[in-house]
Amino acid sequence: LISVGKLDEAGYTTTFGGGKVSVLNTEGKGFTCKRGPNRLYQLGGGAVEIKVRRTGETTALAAAISLETLHRCMAHSDPQTILEMYSKNLVDGLKIGSRMLHGRCVNCIHGRSKAHHHDKPIAPEGVEAADLVCIDLWGPARTQSRGGAKY
């Protein structure tokens, strides 16, 4: 994975368009990548060396990171996808520590929740239609309806 922000900090210009990305240094030298499957841009050929200044920052990949932490750090990606990236060596220096997951992630559960229809009647037992009438008492309204009512 390449950080466009880090390329910018290092003085590179990144241009996206026409199904490709071009990365150029201040001298106009660089490389171009075509968009591959899953809308990801893949480097073709050999490795590309980009020198990025590091001033007092810690590299996150120095130590093994738990799968649960990676899941959260990678925008709640599917843990199986993270393991696949690891097994195929798609991320340089990625070290996965504990692969244990403690149930489903609460944020993922809430993010994937959907509205459900009421399968059962919502009236309490023993109450028939029109047995209970609820009235909202307020008014008159400040704004009239199209028919002139102020309720």
82 by Cβ neighbours in 10 Å (0-12 / 13-18 / 19+) ranks as buried
Tell me the per-residue pLDDT of 99-116, one tens digit each, with 9 for 90 and over: 999 888 888 888 876 666
Domain boundaries, the chain: 1-56, 60-109
Q: Is the dihedral of CA 97, 99, 65, 78 positive or negative?
A: positive
* 15 token code pair: 């241009």
pLDDT at 83: 93
Phi, then psi, of 139 in degrees rounded to 5: 125, 180
- Look up the pTM and report it: 0.39
Measuring CA to CA, how many Å separate 102 from each of 48, 99, 119, 137? 38, 10, 31, 50
Type of residue at 32 = T
